[in-house]
Structure 1
Amino acid sequence: MTSVLASSGLIRLELTRALRNRKFLFFSVLYPSVLFLLIASSADGDEKIDGTGLTLPTYMMVSMASFGALTAVLMGNSERIAKERESGWVRQLRLTPLPGHGYVLAKTASAAVVSLPSIVVVFAVAAAMKEVRLDAWQWLALTGTIWAGSLVFAALGVAIGYLASGDSVRPLTMIIYFGLSILGGLWMPTTNFPDWLRETARWVPTHTYAALGQAVEQGRAPHLRDIVILAVSFALFTGGAAWLYRKDTLKA
């Protein structure tokens, strides 16, 4: 019971800190919507993207919602954890009833909560400004799918936070962040890629992440390959985060 109370207390603290960080809120909540409007501003609402059956605004709505969730969980977790390790905050937490898995859970849960507004805002902007229309079940399914999928990258953020130092965490995170965004087709449809790059993108977890949402928009079941890639990525990222946490504990 004590560990549960400690975990819930840390989650509340993490949420309070995130909501007070205006720069973080801008880049995770508003920035994806601004990018969506820039990309979709001149798009023909009836022209379909090859091989998808989706218009550019509809396609990019899912991509930018996924990008916003990625920003919230990856950028927030990695930098904050690395700096907390360097300042000694994590060492202090080990003296409390909070178990190691509770710390990781609190970081992942708080990041996932912050990612929800970025998804909803992109959807609202797409519906109001670009007249994207879906059935009620599709809006709900999209929100749940993208939100749940963000946990994969929240785990990656935890792993990076334990891998990098306070000085190196930002450049390392930015390389991974932009690499996943571009190669995963979150900034532009992968149909514009060369054949070899398009084939490579199919195995990038951010591409399969957005593909789940696009399957909902198309009214079909997601491809099994996309689910497997995300599941394997989640297992690798959480396993890596757990191993790095234990390694960091032994150093303390």
Structure 2
Amino acid sequence: MNTIDMTLPASRTPLRSYWLEAKYEFLRLLRTPMFSVPTLLFPTLFYVLFGVLMAGSRGGVAAAQYLLATYGVFGVMGAALFGFGVTVAIERQNGYLVLKRVLPMPPGAYLLAKMAMAMLFSAIISTLLAVLAFTLAGVELQPWQWATLLVVDVAGALPFCAMGLYIGSLVGGNGAPAVVNIVYLPMTFLSGLWMPLKMLPPVFAKIAVVWPAWHLGQLALKVVGHDAGRPVVMHLAVLAGITVVFFLLARRRLSR
């Protein structure tokens, strides 16, 4: 008796489906100037201005190290919040998510592709900043410090992916950029990513612990020796909690 081989060919395995979904999501946003240009250029241009040009006369290499860590977090936040918050809102508004649900694709491929996109953009931003810091600002770190900064930046995208996903599940495509900016820019400032919190009134340092950006910033600053001395476990726990809570909230919204 002849039997039918039900094994999927290698070109149609679920793993390949995840890979292709992530690949095309990254290429789509890379070829979208309104996303890719500010996402990649803003943190690098700001670092050149404040971490290289201005830090040379105000703090030197120490200031450049501080801003290398914090502008990396700043760039990661932008890639994750806009990559999820705005694109999910637009795709949900246009009915793209409904179409995705009826396509024969593995479950979770849509979200995993966007997470991979945000993490890849984060890796590019972190690498660009490291090159600028080393070549223009004279920052010299141990190999493990460069590698750890990259890991912190890439993994640190996840909490902000979750926050962006929740924003995208709440608001429409037209309002998403404004809502993301309302979350993104004040939290960046209040977390000490643009300037050390000691340069601001003491109240800002006291409330900084409520911002996930502050916790990620402290992990990055710990790598270069400029953090506030809080336990790493505390920062990791807060960021993990933020990730889980916002992903669950977004899942609940999107499943309706």
Q: Same fold (TM over 0.5)?
A: yes
1:42 aligns with 2:51: no
Does 1:225 find its partner at 2:234?
Answer: yes
| Map of 1:189 onto structure 2 | 196
1:10 equivalent in structure 2: 21
What is the CA distance between 1:101 and its match in structure 2?
2.6
The aligned residue for residue 213 of structure 1 is: 220
Normalized against structure 1, the TM-score is what?
A: 0.88
User: What SS does the corresponding residue of 2:166 show, helix, strand or coil?
Assistant: helix
| Contact kept? 2:65, 2:139, Cα under 8 Å | yes
Listed as ranges, the matches of 1:1-252 within 5 Å are 3-40=14-51, 41-44=53-56, 47=59, 55-218=62-225, 223-247=232-256
Q: Is the 8 A contact 1:45 1:55 kept in 2?
A: no
Q: What is the CA deviation profile of residues 164-209 of structure 1, one whole-angstrom value per residue up to 9, with x for unaligned ones?
A: 1112111111101112211111111111121111110123110110
Shift of 1:102: 2.6
Unaligned 5+ runs, structure 1: 49-53, 248-252
Shift of 1:243: 1.3
| Aligned-residue offset at 1:214 | 1.0
SS in 1 for 2:193: coil
Counterpart CA distance in 1 for 2:186 and 2:108 is 29
My pick for the range that moved more, 17-26 or 164-173, is 17-26
| C-alpha distance in structure 2 between counterparts of 1:124 and 1:221, whole Å | 28
Distance 2:69 2:202 in 1: 23
The letter of the residue matching 1:65 is G
- Structure 2 CA distance for aligned equivalents of residues 93 and 4 of structure 1: 17
- TM-fit CA distance, 1:6: 3.5
After superposition, the C-alpha distances for 1:85-104 in whole angstroms (9 at most, x for unaligned) are: 11111111111123553322
- The Cα RMSD (Å) is 2.2
Deviation at 1:3, TM superposition (A): 4.7
Aligned AA (2:87): R
Ranges in structure 2 where 5+ consecutive residues have no aligned partner: 1-11
The answer as to whether partners of 2:75 and 2:122 remain within 8 angstroms in 1 is: yes
Larger Rg: 2
- The whole-number CA distance in structure 1 between the counterparts of 2:195 and 2:148 is 23
Q: Which amino acid aligns with 1:67?
A: F
Quote the Cα distance in structure 1 between the aligned partners of 2:63 and 2:103. 50
One-letter amino acid of the counterpart of residue 201, structure 1: A
Separation in 2, partners of 1:103, 1:173: 21
Q: How much has 1:56 moved relative to structure 2?
A: 1.1
What SS does the corresponding residue of 2:192 show, helix, strand or coil?
Answer: coil
Q: Is the 8 A contact 1:33 1:122 kept in 2?
A: yes
1:55-95, CA deviations, whole angstroms, 9 ceiling, x for partnerless residues? 11110111111111111111122111111111111111111
**Which deviates more from structure 2 when the two are superposed, residues 99-108 or residues 189-198?**
99-108
Deviation readout 1:202-250 (Å, 9 max, x if unpaired): 2311011011011111299953221221111111121122112212xxx
Match of 1:51 in 2: none
Tell me the amino acid that sits aligned with residue 174 of structure 2: D
Structure 2: how far apart are the matches of 1:21 and 1:32?
18
Structure 1 contact 28–115 (Cα < 8 Å) conserved? no
2-structure distance, mates of 1:6, 1:117: 24
CA 1:88 to 1:139, structure 2 compared with 1: closer, same or farther past 3 Å?
Answer: same
